Amino acid sequence: MSISWILLLAALLFFLQHKLMGRWGFRGLQIDRKFDRAHAHAGEDILMIETIMNRKLLPIPWLRLEATLSTGLRFGQMNNLEVSTGSLFQNHRSLFTLMPYTRIVRRHHVHCARRGWYKLETVAAAMGDLTGVQAASKTHRLHVELLVYPRLVQPEEVPILSSRWQGDVIVRRWMVPDPFLVSGVREYRFGDTMNSIHWKATARTGRLQVYNREFTADPRLVIVVNSQVTEEMWDAVTDPELVEKGLSYAATLADYAISQGVPVGFGYNGWRLDAPSVPVYCAPEGGAQQLDYLFATMAKLAISCARSCEDFLLQLLEEETSPVDIVLLTAYVSEGMHERIEELEDAGHTVSLVPLQHELIESLESLEVKASNAVSS
């Protein structure tokens, strides 16, 4: 047989196997990706399980799967896995060879680096023939979601201060002092209000005495995160990490309070990714389902600002007609916010601050000292 016939036969075989692979390669091929759980907290490790099944007699010499994922999910190193990372997204590529009627299962270790709502909607698949030439490509649709909740910290790491720089830190017991329940007197402590002073006991003992308030048995807590990091900021958040810190503190407080049987609500003057431009408010409820709902809500939040914190506090004043404990996580306190806080307290609510910047902590502590000196004098 001459070389011409050999070349012609080789070309014919190449053409036939290439067409065969291009036409039948994706027949009986199943591609599936899923996470080993539907949600996790930032900082935790999970598994992404990748399953490929070739349910036909025709082998697949090579199959390349490629998907674009957020950099909030970081993949560990594996053989036949390539990850190229940009600033916001990363390309995840994996390579397989499948014999007839074969199933391959891979488990990729994934580190949840950031809070977020992650979706795997498509995966691009390309396969090649026996010579290594790409024969066909196809986009597979997936419906996989992962909610990464805010990172939890130790409750004692949350720097809670009272909003008017008066009164005990109520979140320490997650209860509201009831002005109608009095159990004797005690010595004045740093932060006690003027209207709590027991003047007769003070005159009798010669030392400043205050009413010892009992605590209500049915407290409710509303945690509010201010997405404005400065009073002048609007729309685009200039320091997203401060807001993420606030959400981390909020998740920690919610987790602890609900574990103590306290109904918890949540407010955020930004919006959810599935409800743009609408500020978030969840009424206080108790139980594990409420905690899951709050965590899921926090996972879906965009780092955004839909309404000023001052206006949001006014809305909260209209929403909550019965007294609640309010914990406000904020990077600053403006005069307008201070006025709204006073209005909330005048309406029977208690408000405590969680400063998100060290400068605000120092400023509030300085005001506390001045308030204490004024009471003592």
- For the cut 90, the answer to whether the pLDDT of residue 70 exceeds it is no
Which residue reads 């204490």 in tokens?
Answer: 372
- For the cut 80, the answer to whether the pLDDT of residue 327 exceeds it is yes
Mean pLDDT of 295-306: 95
Instruction: With cut-offs at 50, 70 and 90, classify the pLDDT of residue 171.
Output: very low
Instruction: With cut-offs at 50, 70 and 90, classify the pLDDT of residue 82.
Output: low
* Per-residue pLDDT reduced to its tens digit, 91-107: 888 888 999 999 999 99
Strands 209-215, 177-187: pairing kind: antiparallel
pLDDT at residue number 168: 37
Of the given ranges (27-31, 57-61, 164-168), which has the lowest mean pLDDT? 164-168
Instruction: With cut-offs at 50, 70 and 90, classify the pLDDT of residue 22.
Output: confident
Residue span(s) of the chain under CATH 3.40.50 come to: 155-176+218-376
For residue 123, the cross-strand partners are 140
- For the cut 90, the answer to whether the pLDDT of residue 376 exceeds it is no
- For the cut 70, the answer to whether the pLDDT of residue 172 exceeds it is no
Which residue reads 């007699």 in tokens?
Answer: 57
The DSSP result for 36-98, as a single string, is: SSSEEETT-EEEEEEEEEE-SSS-EEEEEEEEEEETTEEEPP-TTEEEEE-SSEEEEEEEEEE
Residue spans of alpha helices (H) in the chain = 3-24, 199-205, 240-259, 288-299, 309-319, 335-346, 358-376
pTM across the whole model: 0.77
Helix axes 335-346, 309-319, angle to 10 degrees: 10
Q: What percent of the chain has pLDDT over 70?
A: 80
CA-CA-CA-CA torsion for 41, 42, 45, 49, nearest 10 degrees? 80
The two tokens of residue 219 are 């407290």
Mean pLDDT of 169-191: 52
Mean pLDDT of 289-301: 97
Q: What is the mean pLDDT of the chain?
A: 82
Question: 155-176+218-376, what's its fold?
Answer: Rossmann fold (3.40.50)
Task: Give CA–CA dist 29/31, Å, rounded.
Answer: 7
Instruction: With cut-offs at 50, 70 and 90, classify the pLDDT of residue 148.
Output: very high
pLDDT at residue number 202: 81
- For the cut 60, the answer to whether the pLDDT of residue 347 exceeds it is yes
Mean pLDDT of 317-332: 89
pLDDT at residue number 170: 38
Contact indicator for 176, 349 with CB cutoff of 8 Å: no
pLDDT at residue number 204: 78
Task: Give CA–CA dist 149/137, Å, rounded.
Answer: 35
For residue 320, the cross-strand partners are none
* Structure-model confidence comparison of residues 23 and 83, the more confident one: 23
Residue span(s) of the chain under CATH 2.60.40.1510 come to: 27-149
The two tokens of residue 248 are 């981390």
* Per-residue pLDDT reduced to its tens digit, 192-206: 666 667 777 788 788
Instruction: With cut-offs at 50, 70 and 90, classify the pLDDT of residue 374.
Output: very low
pLDDT at residue number 205: 82
- For the cut 70, the answer to whether the pLDDT of residue 177 exceeds it is no
- For the cut 50, the answer to whether the pLDDT of residue 178 exceeds it is no
- CATH number for region 27-149: 2.60.40.1510
Mean pLDDT of 171-180: 43
Task: Give CA–CA dist 187/165, Å, rounded.
Answer: 18
Phi, psi torsion values for 121, nearest 5 degrees: -105, -30
Instruction: With cut-offs at 50, 70 and 90, classify the pLDDT of residue 162.
Output: low
Instruction: With cut-offs at 50, 70 and 90, classify the pLDDT of residue 38.
Output: very high
- For the cut 80, the answer to whether the pLDDT of residue 350 exceeds it is yes
- For the cut 90, the answer to whether the pLDDT of residue 234 exceeds it is no
